[in-house]
Amino acid sequence: MGEYGWINDPNGFIQYRGRYHLFYQHYPYGPVWGPMHWGHAVSEDLVTWSYLPVALAPDRAYDQDGCFSGSAIEKDGRLYLLYTGHVLTGSGPDEYRQTQNVACSDEGFVFAKLPVNPVIDIAQIPPNASKQDFRDPKVFQSGAHYYLVIGSNDCRRDGQVLLYRSPDLLNWEFVNVLAKGEGRLGSNWECPDLFRLGGRDVLLVSAQHVGGDALHNLHSAVALTGKADLAKGVFETDDFQALDDGFDFYAPQTTLDDKGRRLVVAWMDMWESAEPTRTWGHHWAGAMTLPREMILKDGRLCFKPIREIEKYRRNPSAWHDVGLDGEIELETGGDSYELQVTFEAGTAVEFGLKLRANETEETVLAYDRAQKMFRLNRDRSGRGPKGERRSAADLADNRLELRIFVDRCSVEVFIGEGVKVMTARIYPGRRATRVKLFSKGPCTVRSLRKWDIVTRTIGQGEERR
């Protein structure tokens, strides 16, 4: 979470000089979207984060109305941030211009915007791309060159990604339109990310104004797998998948760390969705997901919670071979914990869990045997947004394995070996701490393990203890 105010997209996710840096879109003056700044936090283990002063603020002619999303890269020992400068040119919703800019730091804490900005101006936008929606540069190096993928659309309601190339991060040339939605994936693409994983190239985009059977949210984070030809600026793809089948996962950004892991973190929220904390006097809005490790297995992206979270487990408890037909309540509950559970389906038509429960509230995770569908329902999850998300899931040897992370206002569910993940914000009352198991028909809980998760964040100037 941000230290205060509003946060959205993760930016500049990188491991630099042995520490993880996570920047993010931030409005520090209230829990509402405003002229964007870059918030900044650092961590040694991706779990305990220390807040640092704002890294970028909108204070130049080319970014006076917002330092929009971007990324980070190390070059010659220095940390460079590449970001979108946003400038309003009129009063209408489409009256703005966006350019790409660079800031630099010798130590990774204080950043100076370079005098050559903008390094990519609107004159370098190709004719078949929007002159307004031109944002969120993700930088990477390949061979002797640096590359940027930038989110865009073709002015005909089709999202696309533009590719640029540079020898030095300062002088950029347009290569090509790298990929397009071809009418399948929304009217505009934001927050692109291109990387290699498991022998294939993966392109992430956050697609706006989509929907349908495969993508349940109006705005969805999508992965396309295929082959990228950087010389020609062409991405050949044969498949796409949603990165998360829940409600609240957008604008993901990845980094490669010194353990060889491709890590991803996303904004745990969604545009055009209610944000109750804005109106409760809590003075904050927005959070990030638990960082996840991405793996390509059998041609499909899978996700694992970072193993560092295991160091924060406390108060373990376990159950084995519990027969279930109806509903039972665990002796232990809470508002911040990890659950690992294996159901053997038996002849039950439906089974699952009710989390953050009391007499009137519950968040339901259930498997529907006939439809082969896992569902996450938050209709009774408290004062926040309602609804249900469903995801196709097969039983393995008549078993369903879940790994679940619950926090005070969130739930993240990893299904099977992370083939599917579902993320949702929930806002239950303080007394909604019960955990229940239920089934319609007999099944068996082969194993259930629970740990409280105890973490803390460190404010500016506070000593680590």
- Coil/strand/helix, residue 406: strand
pLDDT computed for residue 212 by the predictor: 66
β-sheet bridge partners, residue 74: 79
Structural domains counted in the chain: 2
Q: Are residues 164 and 76 in the same domain?
A: yes
Q: Are residues 317 and 445 in the same domain?
A: yes
Is it the case that residue 272 has pLDDT exceeding 80?
A: yes
Q: What percent of the chain is predicted at pLDDT more than 70?
A: 97
pLDDT computed for residue 462 by the predictor: 59
Q: For 227-256, how does the pLDDT look when each residue is reduced to its tens digit (9 = 90+)?
A: 999 999 999 997 899 999 999 999 999 999
Query: Quick check: is 464 in a domain?
Result: no
Query: Quick check: is 459 in a domain?
Result: no
Q: Which of 234, 123, 128, 135 minimizes the C-alpha distance to 189? A: 135
User: Residue 263 and residue 197: Cα distance in Å, rounded?
Assistant: 11
Q: For 56-96, how does the pLDDT look when each residue is reduced to its tens digit (9 = 90+)?
A: 999 999 999 999 999 999 999 999 999 999 999 998 888 99
| DSSP string covering 227-241 | EEETTTTEEEEEEEE
Q: How many CA atoms lie within 13 A of 198 on its CB side?
A: 14
Q: Which two tokens stand for residue 79?
A: 């940390």
Query: Quick check: is 460 in a domain?
Result: no
Judge residue 360's burial from the number of C-beta atoms within 10 Å of its C-beta, 0-12 exposed, 13-18 middle, 19 or more buried.
Answer: exposed
pLDDT computed for residue 64 by the predictor: 98
Q: Which of 61, 62, 67 minimizes the C-alpha distance to 9? A: 67
205: containing domain: 5-308
Among 9, 63, 248, 407, which one carries the catalytic annotation?
Answer: 9
pTM of the entire predicted model: 0.96
Domain boundary among 273, 308, 343: 308
pLDDT computed for residue 461 by the predictor: 57
Lowest mean pLDDT among 173-187, 205-219, 344-358, 401-415: 205-219
Q: Are residues 174 and 275 in the same domain?
A: yes
Q: Are residues 164 and 37 in the same domain?
A: yes
Q: What is the mean pLDDT of the chain?
A: 95
Is the preceding peptide bond at 118 cis, omega within 30 degrees of 0? yes
Residue 9 annotated as catalytic: yes
pLDDT band per the 50, 70, 90 thresholds, residue 464: very low
